[in-house]
Amino acid sequence: MDSAEANKQITYLRAQVARHDELYYRHAKPEISDFDYDRLKRELADLEVQFPPVAADESVTQRVGDDRTEGFARVKHRQAMTTLDNTYDEAELREFHARLAKALGTEDLAYTVEPKIDGVAVSLTYEHGRLTRAVTRGDGEEGDDVTANARTIRGLPPTLHGQPVPALIEIRGEVYLSVEEFRRINQLQEEAGEAHYANPRNLAAGTLKQLDTQLVASRRLEVVLYGLGHCEPPVADSQSGFQAQLAAWDLPVVEKFWAVRGIDAVCGAIRELDQRRRGFAFGTDGAVVKLDSFAQQAHKGVGYRGMGADGRAEAARKLSPRWACAFKFPPDRAETWVRNITIQVGRTGALTPVAELEPVLLAGTTVKRATLHNADEIARKDVRVGDAVLVEKAGEIIPAVVAVLVSKRPAGSAPYAFPQQCPVCTTAAVRVEDGVVWRCPNPQCPEKVRRRIEHFASKGCLDIDGLGEEIVDLLLHHGLIKSIVDLFHLTVDQLLPLKKSGEVWAGNLIAAIAARRGTDLWRVIHGLGIPQVGAASAKDLARTFRSLDALAAAPEADLVRIDGFGEKTAAAVRAWFAEETNRALLRELLAAGLRPTPPAESGSGLAGKVFVLTGTLPTLTREEAAAKIEAAGGKVSGSVSKKTHYVLAGDEAGSKLDKARALGVPVIAEAEFLRLLG
């Protein structure tokens, strides 16, 4: 490659990196994986080294990504927030150690190895022990003031407990969403007929930049802290010592870190982290290796990103610490073929495309299907039937098509044409202005009806024993039901002809339906399919209003006051009950004998207590334990924080048990739990 070709390629790569920086940092909507982005940036950095006359001083490789957005005040960091050099190669990690050993005159260096949290960088300022400001990384020099949103984060104390408390300290960390919370929010998206969020990191970033603090609170962000910025006076002389101080202040810290000596021990710790990382509450995509000694860190200082020991471009901005680097785990990917693209019709009519794949083993499970999210996503990636594709688990949760192997595309393939009508009832699909989701608007679409009935009868709603997908299909096929109300009008005589020797089956099903006429109020609220209302929100509504009539009449102002409810959720609830067809549905259900039971007024000492469940209990399932907690007036959470009152632990308890012990949260077994219940 000559200088002219290099200049052309460098210009192209800079434009690509700048575009992906904009999508990732400002919009939290990346189009490529971290692995592909790092590879793109590495190619650019290598070219800039090979052709220095071509490379401008202010290349995108020399700048920290900028997450500043409109609507937030800008705050300058007292100490710049740097970004780490990345590597996927153990040989490069050993070269990093060799440079440090040469500069410091010894191979026997002490390091810390910490999980690299896949979240959003934030800097918290505590003055005389009180939280006064939270600021995003921004461009490294200044960031956005997100203090109001940070104050909603679970487990983040407003004051530091214990001594010493410095006059002023900047503490760095990552805001994230737990896997459980990410799944809960996507369940709400599904119930609202909206597209799923791609991964927890993007959703956490988008949430932290919301102007509606109630919406932020409803999404239950969490934070983990690990880094030191400006501090006066000093509180520790090493990274391991600072980690201990963070824990002593009752701040949320990494669940596990390693203090080791020598590069072999570093590599061993990284391998152990790779084995343990999927059990952490937060997502992690690698390890951060740091010199433990703050004095040695200060000696090495910071420098131009991506450069070696020669320290080229001394005048360039000094953004990356020389004493730390990130070792990133390559993503779990697999190559397979797209057999077909099918369209799923959701309960609200959302048309969701799914890639039907040649089965392939990925991250320990066989993947046969991968979401394609929406029509825009298919067009952007140009996914076609017959394509060879790379599949990975986005955020290690949802299988997704990340790339098309165009070189293997079969001859004669054609771009996928997203259907303009519902594949079930053939009604013309509609697209909300500025939206990405196509919907079937037909309220009597057979698939929408089937999904609504399945949801109403499902385990998470009325939990009608024996009324699964197969039986719902059977009842619909024979015209015995057309809505959820019809379930309560079924008779044994109607069911008898549907199955040979079906008398026992018919009697059992009718009895199971009758038994749910007096089911819990929250189950009915959840079963109605109100947009934005999942099981947890339904329980909050049941506890607050205690009847369907009271809930139907509740003004939006009362809904917003519920802890965790934002304006969007409150508006969705109010809008659902304002629809005459929905009010008619409630009247028909009550006329059919549905009598929801409000939560018991509990005098138990567990009222208001927050429980986290982990492991396998001797006699109770998690669902049974959760039901007992809620019946006693308590709440069940998916993650451990300082607000947790008890962790109920069984056999093979995971990282939640470790975190409970680190935070001093009481851990109880099933026997003690049952004694507390009385």
Give the residue numbers marked as catalytic: 116
- Residue pair 612/636 in contact (Cβ under 8 Å)? The answer is yes
Phi, psi of 597 (to 5 degrees): -100, 120
DSSP characters over 170-195:
EEEEEEE--HHHHHHHHHHHHHTTPP
- Token pair recorded at residue 590: 């009550």
Cα separation of 522 and 530, whole Å? Answer: 12
301 in Cβ contact with 318 (< 8 Å): yes
Which contiguous run of DSSP H or E holds residue 286? Answer: strand 284-291
CB 304 within 8 A of CB 319: yes
What residues form DSSP beta bridges with 253?
225
SS3 track for 368-380: EEEECCCHHHHHH
302-303 and 398-404: which strand pairing? unpaired
Q: How far is CA 527 from each of CA 36, 248, 459, 568, rounded to the nearest angstrom?
A: 42, 45, 10, 20
Looking at the chain, the number of H-run helices and the number of E-run strands are 24, 24
Contact status, residue 186 vs residue 400, Cβ threshold 8 Å? no
**DSSP label at 250?**
T
Q: Is the peptide bond before 441 cis (omega within 30 degrees of 0)?
A: no
How far is Cα 144 from Cα 138, in angstroms, rounded to an integer?
A: 6
The phi-psi region of residue 388 (left if phi > 0; otherwise alpha if psi is between -120 and 50; otherwise beta) is beta
Extract the tokens encoding 502: 């079906």
Torsion, Cα 308 311 313 318, to 10 degrees, reads 90
Count CB-CB contacts under 10 A for residue 313: 17
Extract the tokens encoding 310. 């020669």
Q: How far apart are CA 364 and CA 387, in angstroms?
A: 23
Q: Report the b/e string of 642-677 with b at 16+ CB within 10 A.
A: eebebbbbbeebbbbbbbbeebebebeebeebeebe
Beta-bridge mates of residue 648: 613, 668
The backbone torsions φ and ψ at residue 416, rounded to the nearest 5 degrees and listed phi first, read: -75, 130
Strands 168-176 and 222-232: antiparallel
Spatial CA neighbour of 92 closest among 265, 310, 326: 326
Q: Tell me how far apart the alpha carbons of residues 80 and 340 are, in angstroms, rounded to a whole number.
A: 50
Are 239 and 110 within 8 A, CB to CB?
no
With DSSP H G I counted as helix, E B as strand and the rest as coil, what are the percentages for the chain, rounded to 5? 40, 20, 40
Q: Which helix (H) or strand (E) holds 222?
A: strand 222-232
What is the dihedral angle through the alpha carbons of 453, 458, 464, 466, rounded to the nearest 10 degrees? Answer: 90
Q: Single out the residue of 677, 636, 635, 643 nearest to residue 660, CA to CA.
A: 643
> Any idea what the Cα angle at residue 320 is, between residues 315 and 323, rounded to 5°?
115
Rounded distance between C-alpha atoms, residue 112 and residue 58, angstroms: 32
